Chain A
Amino acid sequence: MAGTVSSRRRGRRLAADTGLLAVAAAFALPLAWVLLSSVDPHADLRVKAPDGLTLGNFDAILTPEITFTPLLNSLILCGGATLLTVVCAVLAAYPLSRFRSRLNRPFLLTILFATSLPITAIMVPVYALFVRVDLIDTVHGTILFFAASQLPFAIWLMKNFMDGVPKELEEAAWTDGASTLQSLARIVLPLMGPGVSVVTVFSFVMMWGNFFVPFMLLLTPDQMPASVSINEFFGNRGMVAYGQLAAFSVVYSTPVILLYLLISRRLGGGFALGGAVKG
């Protein structure tokens, strides 16, 4: 009996492994294309073994104009917006997590509601509004909008993380005469370091990859982040150099993949956002 059970289990495992590997292979093909093409001197649109190895594609794109300026722009835009998001989210989460108020529940419900609104839909009116108030084509305007669009989710996530820090420690600090802000900075924040870093990295990754917001709100080519400037490979340069496009994609994507690895490790492979999604 025990023999048949364990052999059934082994059979199931084999079936599951086969199924998963098939899906993994299908998902890996487009990824393989970008990796192989980036070092292929004669890259085209097919996945194939490179005709020899070259770093020429990387050499060609690692210039201020093609790579460094757009990446720096991305960094300024996403870094600025992330900083603003995280600071505002920490401050907002604190009263929501610590004090009882009749307004907490409606506020949180509104935030949760806003979390799932299709932000894409409001980009046309945002553009019209930004033209009106003279924020169009400004980096600070784009940062402010980016931060606002990421805030609902950041507040929600931050509040959930903050709820996990026991309240007794702060109450002790208050008895000793610490102010609210002091206890937030000295006691709560250090205890929820992983939570803050998850919100920070997640916000940054979301904005780093966002195309539509800077595409709409920025006009000057010098200010474009990588998510928009990558289009240049396609439309305006005539012949598409696929090898260079692949190399640029690799350079542009690597930071967010590393950052994601960083937080997923920090959470022990678990996924905190899944928990946030459940409520």
Chain B
Amino acid sequence: MNGGARRLRSLGRALPLSPAVVLLLLFLAGPIGYCAFIAFTDLQLTGQAHASFVGLANFRRAFGDEEFLNAVWLTLVFTVVSSLLGQNTLGLALAALMRRASKPVRTLTGGVVITAWVLPEVVAGFLLYAFFRREGTLNALLDQLHLPSQNWLFTLPILAVSFANVWRGTAFSMLVYSAALNEIPGEIEEAAEVDGARGRRLWWHITLPMIRRSIGTNLMLNTLQTLSVFGLIWVMTRGGPGGRSQTLPLFMYEQAFQNSMIGYGTAVALLLLVVGSLFSLVYLRLLRTEV
């Protein structure tokens, strides 16, 4: 077969890819490119005929803006508390406990945790709002135990939304770790146990090293999901009070729409996208042997 015919054949074979590629280019790559463009302009929502190019002004402004730095800090707290410490650790603990637990308890716990995960984001937001409100369930419980109650969404809003994210997102880690633990051949742990390794040592020296790849990929995915949480926080606190639960996505939204500065909001979005891309690249590295 000559070169032309071969090229024609491979073109024909690639044809089914075209609808997907067109959609992805127009509606995903397009906006990302547009994002990279308007982040360098002073585009506003209203009262402006042409946006002009302002170079790095939006970024310079961001790093001098206390509210932005506050949002960066809160995003960090939100990510560390809810994804790294919360979802990841609790998910691993649940998966580990499930291997020893009796079947009905396993099914029940799995069912409840997964239901929290499957619920629509806004519904999850309302449920946790009700839970943390002054008149809500948490305080009613604390009263019963004669512990001091408080208005959680006012005093510790970032922790309240972080716990909400743990409630909503732990199922994913639990499923990933259950799958990973199930893949460890039973003989290895049994052999280690016969050799006298037990409890914590067995866990540190045998089990954890064997699932470290899953730990890596799970941490990456949790972090990426947590970076883009909007609806949950929006429903619970709108980023308030006084910006004390305003993570980067909410800050971006506020700048672009409440303050009508699309250019500035997009610059923040671009920073978020860059951070996300870095995590995403690390994630690809972790998976690289498998594609």
Contact = CB atoms under 8 A, between A and B. Distances in A.
Contacts of B38: 125, 128
A209 interface: yes
B167 A27 contact: yes
A210 B12 CA distance: 36
Nearest to A257: B118
A30 interface: yes
Nearest to A27: B112
For B28, B106, B114, B229, the residue with the greatest tally of chain A CB atoms inside 10 Å of its CB is B28
A248 B27 CA distance: 32
Given A46-B140, A227-B122, A257-B115, A121 B23 contact: no
Interface of A: 12-13, 15-17, 19-21, 23-24, 27-31, 33-34, 44-48, 84, 87-89, 91-92, 94-96, 99, 101, 103, 105, 107-109, 112-114, 116-129, 144-145, 147-149, 151-152, 155, 180-181, 184, 205, 208-212, 215, 226-228, 230-231, 234, 242, 245, 249, 252-253, 256-257, 260, 264, 270-271, 273-275, 277-279
Interface of B: 10, 12-17, 19-21, 23-24, 26-28, 30-32, 34-35, 38, 43, 90, 93-94, 97-102, 105-106, 108-109, 112-116, 118-123, 126-128, 130-131, 133, 135-137, 140, 167, 175-176, 178-180, 213-214, 217-218, 220-221, 224, 227-231, 234-235, 249, 252-253, 256, 262, 265-266, 269-270, 272-273, 276-277, 279-281, 283-284, 287, 290-291
B249 A249 contact: no
B145 to A, nearest CB: 14
B16 A277 contact: no
B273 A129 contact: no
B118 A260 contact: yes
Nearest to B283: A116
A228 B280 CA distance: 29
Given A94-B16, A118-B227, A148 B26 contact: yes
27 contacts: A16-B100, A17-B105, A19-B97, A20-B106, A20-B109, A30-B116, A47-B140, A92-B20, A99-B10, A105-B291, A112-B284, A113-B280, A117-B273, A120-B227, A121-B270, A121-B276, A123-B253, A125-B31, A125-B35, A125-B38, A210-B121, A211-B122, A227-B121, A270-B179, A271-B179, A277-B221, A278-B287
B291 A155 contact: no
B31 A91 contact: no
A122 B118 CA distance: 24
B118 A125 contact: no
A45 B136 contact: yes
Contacts of A91: 16-17, 19-20
Contacts of A30: 116, 127-128, 130-131, 137, 167
A277 B176 contact: yes
B102 to A, nearest CB: 6
Given A24-B112, A87-B19, A227-B122, A47 B276 contact: no
A231 B14 CA distance: 44
Contacts of B179: 270-271, 274-275, 278
Contact of A121 (B13, B100, B269): B269
A231 B217 contact: no
A172 B15 CA distance: 22
B116 to A, nearest CB: 6
A118 B23 contact: no
Contact of A118 (B21, B228, B262): B228
B266 to A, nearest CB: 5
B101 A122 contact: no
Nearest to B287: A279
Contacts of B126: 34, 230, 245, 249
Contacts of B100: 12-13, 15-16
Contacts of A16: 97-101, 105
A147 B284 contact: no
B34 A125 contact: yes
B130 A256 contact: no
B124 to A, nearest CB: 8
A277 to B, nearest CB: 6
B23 A209 contact: no
A186 B274 CA distance: 43
Contact of B253 (A103, A124, A144, A279): A124
Contacts of B128: 30
A78 B120 CA distance: 13
Name the 9 nearest CB pairs between A and B, nearest first: A209-B120, A148-B27, A211-B231, A279-B290, A118-B228, A120-B228, A125-B35, A92-B20, A30-B127
B24 A148 contact: yes
